[in-house]
Structures are given as structure tokens and as C-alpha cells.
Amino acid sequence: MADPSETDWAEEMAVRSTLRGLLAILHYSYPTAVFLYYMASSAVAICTLQTRSSDHSHPRRRFILWSLMLVILTYFAQLLALAIQATVRNVFPLADQDTVIGLMSCALAFGVVFTGLSGAPNPVWHPYIGSFGLALLFEPVIGVLAFLVRPVESHNFTDVFDVVALAVRYLAVVLAVAFYFEGRYTVRQRDKGTDAERQSLLKPNGNGHAGHHDSDSEDQGDGNRQQNGYGATSDSSSDSNQSSDADDENPYERRQRQASEQMEKRLREKGNWFTYAKSFQLFFPYIWPVKRRGLQLRIVLVGCCLLAMNFINVLIPRQLGIIMDSLSGVNGKNPWNEVLIFAGLKLVASEAGLSLLRQWLWIPVEYYSFGAISTAAYSHVLNLSSDFHDSKSSSDIMMAISCGQSISNILESICFRAVPMLIDMTVAFAYLSATFGPYEGFITVATASVFMFIATHMIAKLKGARKNEVGAWYKEHYVRQAGIQGWSTVTSFNQVGHEEDRYSAAVQDRVAKTQKVYFGYVLAYAFQFLVLLSGLLAGAFLAVYQVTNGDATPGDFIMLLTYWAQLVAPLNFFASLGKSISKDLLQAEQLLEIMQTKPSIVSKENAPPLQLAGGEVRFDGVYFSYDKKKDILKDINFTAKPGTTVAFVGATGAGKSTILKLLDRFYDVTRGSITIDNQDIRDVDLYSLRAQIGVVPQAPILFDDTIMNNVRYAKLTATDEEVYEACKAACIHEQILGFTDGYQTRVGERGVKLSGGELQRVAIARAILKQPSIVLLDEATSAVDTETEQKIQGALRTLCEGRTTFVVAHRLSTIVNADRIIVITGGEIVEQGSHDELIGAGGRYAELWSKQIFVKPKDKRPDDDDSKPSRKKAKAPTIVNDLSAEATSSELAKVKSAPSTTCSGQTKNTDKDANTKPGPTTSGHGKEV
């Protein structure tokens, strides 16, 4: 029969052993729980935009940080006590492995929490309070268990020290929690009665804390810079709030700022990152080749390749270890075979193996996606309306279209790089822990954490220097561009030396700033290397210790070294992942904004085509405003009978060209209607409307192509003969034949190689070729000399014959024969009638006419409406010559007999009211008579 004391002892041992197992589990699970909880809740806080709504700084944040620091110090103190004791007693390891790992992991986990809190002046608190809660829960349990598992008689100084450390730590956590609630209460009290609670959930801008100066106020100023809610996104958004910066920002910065503001706005609208990310669904059909089974299969195979690579990444270091062991005779394997296997594995992993296969599979998918996005974006932009094109610079639009690549970059970064590398790191952690024990696993995690911390912080610190460098780079570019573009000015003013000095200074400035950034990166890499080296050293020492104790083989040691070398690439990648994703996201944002813009001018659903029956055009009470604030056109009423010519005259900026744009439906009227043969132009098919209208614009734009192709653009199916005929009608045929390459002469970008007159005649030829039913001439002959103009008038007569024509002209001699002349002032019709009627009326038109006949530039009054500078003024004297001598004297006679005008140009109705005269309308509302 067993001795009862022995049974008790055996039972006690069994209980202790169970408790010991439980304690070991808690040692590992406690820091893991803190770390995972902190990371997961922080991620959720970011994704649900809570980081952006936390606009109160906590008045006790600094005390909480100190408490947290104390918590971490207690772990280090315990570790130090263990190390000292082990050294004194010469017992290694003194404590159980899980105890030491537990202490080190807790120091690391709370170190991460501490870093997070110290870098966020206005944090979302639940990741921190939750971590404290876990500490309050786990610490006493672990403390009690640690006490119970050891027999009372074996308790020593270390246990006493542990109890003290535990008590201090517990107190520090309790204090941190108390500080938190006390601070919250203080803030509530302070805000009571203020409208703080009614403020927007989202911070208005980075300076939104001005009212909360307290113990943390110095952090706040800094914090506005550091509030990096999510990678560089917030960085740039905070930049955007610095209006002083906005003044001297370069185009790159401006684009980044605008995209960032757009992202911020959309994020607010969407509510969180998840729904925000969903708006990118729009791009899905371009990224995932929906109808291309072959490409889909390739994507699946790429995934398989990546998994295979993960596997090979473990096998290679392992195989090296096996070779080493076979060489030293530990495993009895044939080293020749093992080396062959190693070579095979290296081949599979090399650029000539799986990597080649992956690229071969991936390249068609990548280019499909890039091509599909670019084509869709280009097509979308071309289908957008004038209001969009007016509001965006063409360079911004082109940049945005070329950003299609960034969308596939994001996906590629996440799916094909981040995920496999994460798998690599997890496998490394598990494999090293399994081979060398949990210490090695801890060293891997600790090294990776410190590495990431240093890398991200140093990259963030370089942001300012990088910004300066980009600014200097743009400045250099501008100085160079200005010097080259303005070469003739530079040379004629003898300023070559000055430009050289300016450029040299800009280059030096840029070089100095680049060096600073470059050195910053070199320094960051040096620190990262030191961290990796320390980790490797710690890991190597541990491995050597185990090899010498016979717990591992020399092959394992070699495996460890090789594995470490392989981990550098994933670590570097993860360190820059946030930055590269936020950069790609900002670029994608620019494209997303465009793709989400809907054209404002579209055909109604099932709109019928325009049925032309002569081409009667009617403006009925038309109002129009570009910005929906200021009316540019007011109550415009007139009817153009089929086949007649209507001319618009008036001061520059009066709204003449706008009337033509409304007719071509570049914009829709704000009020009223425009009808063609009694069909509202908004109700007919847009394509059919524009097909009937031929435009010769003020500044025609030609493509950088041959003259033949430029003219043919109006009708792509036109034969060469038709093009020649059109050019003959536009009086440009002979001139084209005189060019070196005739019709095959390239006109240069926007037609720069042609003179203004040639350009306009090519544009007229193009309109003639189109054979439109309605013709819009917007100062179509403004750039030609009088002789050429007289020739073109013939061409225009051909173009306009039998067609309803609208002409905008400053040179009144060109429209004297128009059926109706409409005088526009300040967006309103002030007069309309034929030339003779308007002269007879002696109103605004007569005044303009008399000026063009008599007045030399020096006679012009300063308050003249016709104050258009440069070209038109300079040409004024020649205008007199537009008319023959006889015509001039007859016009003189007409004007002299008309009523005199006041200084302000108003008709003096001394004898009778102008409206009572037969002929033109002079009412302000321009109602037709």
C-alpha cells in the first residue's frame, strides 16, 4: 500500500505540472493576445475612419505614456534579475524558456503599443485601453500561477523581485487606466456647454485643435504633421491644409494635394475605408479579364507559382543544412546527391525557373489590364462634356489617364508580393521556432518589428527633404524650359549669361537637396542593416549554443544563416509597402475621379435624330451661366430663317461665342430653349445634331498630321478629289501645292507650321468638306489680311449658300451683307436688324461702325467696349481699307445722317423714341420686331 504522504506528494506534483503547463500557455498567449488585439483594433479603427474623428487630444496622454514605459521597464528588470542570478549562480538557463520568452515578448508587445501611442497625439483609444484590460486580466493570473507552481521552500530572492515587479506593473497599468478615464472626464467637463459635441465627426483640418492647449499642446503642433492616420495619405492631406505651402507648390505637389483632398472627401462621404475601397470596383472589369478564360487561367497559375516559391524558399536553406550535415557525416547522406538537389532547387527558384514562368504567365495579364484601363479612361474622357474639360488642365487629364498602371500596381503589390512574403515570414517564424525553439522565433519577430519601426520612421522623417528635392527639381525644370522656350527673347536681350547663372544656381540647389535625401536613405539603410545584423548575431549565438549542446546540427546553423539572408527582401518590401500603396492610391484616385464623372451633355434615352427641314434656328428666352451663378446670356430671343445669315457683334466678352457653343450643344441652356426646325436640341440625338453643324472656330486646332488628313478629318471617307475641291473653295489649294510636300506637308503641333491665315483657311476647307446644314463662323477670317479675306469671302459664300449661318465678327465690314445683325452687350441683345436698319437707328451698331470707318486708335475713348487688345486693335486702321472708296463715302453719308451719340455710346433719342422707327429693335430685351 502506498505511503499517503507519497500519494499526496505525487498528487501535488501532478497539479503543479498541470499548472506549469497552463502557465507556459499563458506566457505565450498573453503577449500574443496583446499584440494581435492591438494590431487588429488599430486596423479596424483606421478602416472605419475613427482615426480621423478623434479630434480631442487627451490631457493625460503623457502620464499614460510614462505608465506604459514603467510597465515595459518592469519586464526588462525581471529579465535583468534573471540574467544576473544566472551569471552569479552560473546556471543557464536559470528560468524556464517560456518565462523568459514571455517576459521578452511582453516587453516587445507593450513596446509596440508604446510606440503607437507616442506617435499619435490624438489616438483612438480602444486599442490602448483594450491592451491595458488584457494586462489587468492576465498579469494577476500569471503572477498567482507562477507562485503556485514552485514549492514554497524553493522560493528565493528572484520570486520576491518578481512579486515586486508584478505589483509595480499592475499599479502602472491601473494608473494608466485611471489617467485615461480621469482625462476623459476632464475633457467632458471642459467641453460641457461648448458646442464641441455638435462639431463634425470628421476633423475639419489638421489645425482643428487650436482650442485645446494643455499639457500636450507641444505635441499637437507636431502632431498635425504626424497624424499619419494611414501612410502617406494623411501626410499629404495635412500638407494640403498648409495654405502657405499651396502657394508655391509645383504641379506634382498640386496634383498630389488635389488627389489627396479628393480622397479625403470621398472617404468622408463613404464613411470608412471598406466602402471607399469598394468604389474602386469600377476598375474590376479592366483588372480581372472577365471574358478571357485564357487570362483567368494564367492568373490562377501565377498564384500556384507563388505558393511553389514559398515552398522552395524553405527548401533551399534546409537543403544547404543537409549538405553541411552530409559533409560532416552527421546524417549519413551522399553529399554529391544533396548538392545536385540543391542545384535543382536553386534553378527552380531562379530567374530561369519559376520566376520566368511566373513572368511569362503574368505579362499578358498585366498588359491586358493596363491597356483596358487606358482605353476605357481615354474613351471616357473624350465623352465627357465641356464643363469637365474647362475645369481640368489637359496635362492633369493626361497624367490621370496614364495612372491606370497604379491600380494594377496596388493589386499586384498586395496579391503577388505582400501575401507571398507574409507567408514566407510566417513560415520562417514557424520553421525556425520548430528547429531552434521559441527563442529563435522570438528573435525573428523582434528583429522584424524593430526593422519595420526603424524603416518606416526614417522614411517618414525624410519626407520633408524629399519634398524639397521635388520642388528643386521642378524649379530646375522650369528655369531650363523658360530659357529654351524663350531663347529668342533671351538672345535678343543679351541675357544668355543671366540665364546660365540662373540655371546653374537651380542645378546646384537641386543637387544639394538630392544629396541630402540620398544620404538620408543611405543612413536609413545602414540602421536597418544594423538591426538585421543584431538579430542575426543573436540568432547565430543561440544556434551555436544549441549546436555545442548537441540540440542542433551544424547544418541547422547554415540553414539559419541562409534563411536570414532570405528574409531581408520581404522586410524591405514591407517597410516601403505603406508608402508605395498610398502613392499608387493617390494616383488611382485621380483616375477614379475622372471615371466617376458623368458627362453633363448627353442624348436622352432613345432620342430621335434631328430631322432637318431647312434649318430654322430659334432662341427662345435663353439664359445661360457657366458657373450657375453669373448669367452670361440673358433673355436671348431671335429666329434665324432657313438659309439666312445671322451675325453677332459686340464687345469682347459679351457672349457671342457662347451663343454658338450653345447651338452646338457644348453646354445646355440654363433657361429657355433652342430649337432647330421646331425640335429642341436637347431632345434630339447629340450625334445627329453635331453632324448637321459645321464650325470654323476662332482658333482652329489642327492635328500634327498632313494637311490632307487634317482636312479629311471632317469626313473620313472623303476622296482626295473632294479634299482638293474643299481647299479650292477655301482659296488655299494653290498655296498648299506650293508647300514642299504639297498636301502631305505636316502642319506641326496644333498647326504651328502654318500662318494664322493658312490655318483658318484649312479650317474653312474642313467645314466645307463636311457639307453641314448649319454653319457657325466664329471670327473665321480674323487672322487674314484684307486681300486674302476678300478671297475667302467668296469661299465662305460657297460654304454658307443655302445654309443657315451664324457669324461672329469684330470686323464689321465682313458682315454688312448679313440678313440680320444682332448686337450683344453684357449678354443681352441690345439691337438687331440689317446693316442699313441699324445704321439708320444710330444706336450702338452705328457707333461701332463709325469708329471702324473713321477712328484712328488715338481717337478711341478709354471706356470703349471694343477694347480687345493686341491683334484686333493693331489691325483697326487697315479695316478702313476693307471698303472701296465709293463704299466708304456712302457709309459716311449714312452715318452722318444718323442721330448723334453720347460719350457713353447711347443713342440720343432727341427727336423721337428709337423704337418708333421702322426697322431694328433697340429694346434692352432684344425682342424681335
Binding site for ligand ATP (CB under 6 A): 390, 626, 632, 652-658, 868
- Taking a C-beta distance cutoff of 8 angstroms, is the pair 462, 517 a contact? yes
Q: Which is nearer to ligand ATP, 102 or 655 (CB)?
A: 655
Comparing CA positions, the residue from 235, 278, 283 lying closest to residue 259 is 235
Tell me 643's DSSP state. T
Sheet (strand 820-825) strand order: 693-696, 774-778, 804-808, 645-650, 820-825, 828-833
Work out how close the CB of 825 gets to ligand ATP at its nearest, in angstroms, rounded to a whole number. Answer: 10
User: What single-letter amino acid sits at 840?
Assistant: G
Q: Is 718 helix (H, G, I), strand (E, B) or coil?
A: coil
- Phi, psi at 606, each rounded to 5°: 55, 30
Q: Which is nearer to ligand ATP, 358 or 656 (CB)?
A: 656
Work out how close the CB of 524 gets to ligand ATP at its nearest, in angstroms, rounded to a whole number. Answer: 48
Query: How far is the C-alpha of 153 from the C-alpha of 690, rounded, in Å?
Result: 100
Q: What contacts 814, CB < 8 A, 6 or more positions away? A: 781, 789, 793, 807, 882
Q: Which is nearer to ligand ATP, 310 or 782 (CB)?
A: 782
Work out how close the CB of 811 gets to ligand ATP at its nearest, in angstroms, rounded to a whole number. Answer: 11
* Helix axes 554-596 and 231-240, enclosed angle (nearest 10): 40
Q: Which is nearer to ligand ATP, 116 or 653 (CB)?
A: 653
Please state the three-class secondary structure of 734-758 as a single string: HHHHHCCCHHHCECCHHHCCCCHHH
> Residue 800: CA atoms inside 13 Å, Cβ hemisphere, count?
24
Q: Which is nearer to ligand ATP, 465 or 632 (CB)?
A: 632
Query: How far is the C-alpha of 646 from the C-alpha of 921, rounded, in Å?
Result: 15
- Taking a C-beta distance cutoff of 8 angstroms, is the pair 298, 416 a contact? no
Comparing CA positions, the residue from 728, 727, 697 lying closest to residue 709 is 727
Work out how close the CB of 251 gets to ligand ATP at its nearest, in angstroms, rounded to a whole number. Answer: 21
Work out how close the CB of 851 gets to ligand ATP at its nearest, in angstroms, rounded to a whole number. Answer: 16
Work out how close the CB of 807 gets to ligand ATP at its nearest, in angstroms, rounded to a whole number. Answer: 12
Work out how close the CB of 683 gets to ligand ATP at its nearest, in angstroms, rounded to a whole number. Answer: 24
Q: Which is nearer to ligand ATP, 259 or 784 (CB)?
A: 784
Comparing CA positions, the residue from 459, 409, 461, 474 lying closest to residue 252 is 474
Q: Which is nearer to ligand ATP, 69 or 876 (CB)?
A: 876
Work out how close the CB of 860 gets to ligand ATP at its nearest, in angstroms, rounded to a whole number. Answer: 17
Comparing CA positions, the residue from 645, 622, 625 lying closest to residue 802 is 645
Q: Which is nearer to ligand ATP, 214 or 828 (CB)?
A: 828
Work out how close the CB of 630 gets to ligand ATP at its nearest, in angstroms, rounded to a whole number. Answer: 9
Whole-number Cα distances in Å, 509 to 102, 478, 506:
52, 14, 5
Q: Which is nearer to ligand ATP, 194 or 652 (CB)?
A: 652
**According to DSSP H, which parts of 279-353 are helical?**
284-287, 293-327, 335-349
- Taking a C-beta distance cutoff of 8 angstroms, is the pair 806, 777 a contact? yes
The C-alpha cell at 172 is 502602472
Q: Which is nearer to ligand ATP, 264 or 779 (CB)?
A: 779
Tell me 412's DSSP state. I
Q: Which is nearer to ligand ATP, 572 or 637 (CB)?
A: 637
Work out how close the CB of 658 gets to ligand ATP at its nearest, in angstroms, rounded to a whole number. Answer: 3
Q: Which is nearer to ligand ATP, 18 or 652 (CB)?
A: 652
> Residue 552: CA atoms inside 13 Å, Cβ hemisphere, count?
25
Work out how close the CB of 626 gets to ligand ATP at its nearest, in angstroms, rounded to a whole number. Answer: 3
Provide the sign of the torsion angle of the four alpha carbons 110, 116, 122, 123, taken in this order. Answer: negative
Work out how close the CB of 293 gets to ligand ATP at its nearest, in angstroms, rounded to a whole number. Answer: 47
Render the burial of 467-505: b for 16+ CB within 10 Å, e for the rest.
bbbbbbbbbbeebeeebeeeeeebeeeeeeeebeebbee
Q: Which is nearer to ligand ATP, 368 or 845 (CB)?
A: 845
Query: How far is the C-alpha of 107 from the C-alpha of 718, rounded, in Å?
Result: 80
The C-alpha cell at 20 is 506549469
Work out how close the CB of 872 gets to ligand ATP at its nearest, in angstroms, rounded to a whole number. Answer: 9
Other beta carbons within 10 angstroms of residue 654's beta carbon come to: 22
